[in-house]
Amino acid sequence: DAGVIQSPRHEVTEMGQEVTLRCKPISGHNSLFWYRQTMMRGLELLIYFNNNVPIDDSGMPEDRFSAKMPNASFSTLKIQPSEPRDSAVYFCASSLLPDPGSGNTIYFGEGSWLTVV
């Protein structure tokens, strides 16, 4: 079975440019998460969708960040305009929730490594 698929794997962009990160969750999963990993803050949740609806976006840093989930098989995280401090690894993850059988296990993609110069 295919896991969570993210693209691009690596992106280098100039400050001020728009960045779009893409995610395809595991088929059948109803919850999708965007996490960001930095040395300073570790792994932090940015936003969480359930059945394509944003449930908790309290972790989104500021208005420059936006996320959408137009259907059950696709999500985007957009940064506009990008800044050097946005450089991080962005992980998309998916799960079937609630699912007592799986214990709400969340499966991660390989991450998108973003560098803003």
- Segment near another protein (CB under 8 A), from 11-19, 37-45, 60-68, 74-82? 37-45
Nearer to another protein among residue 9 and residue 15 (C-beta)? 9
DSSP class of 26: P
Q: What are phi and psi of 28, to 5 degrees?
A: 95, -15
Alpha helices in the chain (DSSP H): none
Is 97 an interacting residue with respect to another protein (CB under 8 A)? yes
Whole-number Å distance between alpha carbons of 66 and 64:
7
Look at residues 64, 67, 105, 111 and name the one whose alpha carbon lies nearest to residue 88: 111
Q: How far is the CB of 39 from another protein (least distance, A)?
A: 10
* Identified binder of another protein from the candidate list 33, 34, 65, 90, rule CB under 8 A: 33
Chain residues in the site for another protein (CB under 8 A): 31, 33, 35, 42-43, 45, 48, 50, 55-56, 89, 91, 93, 95, 97-98, 102-111, 113
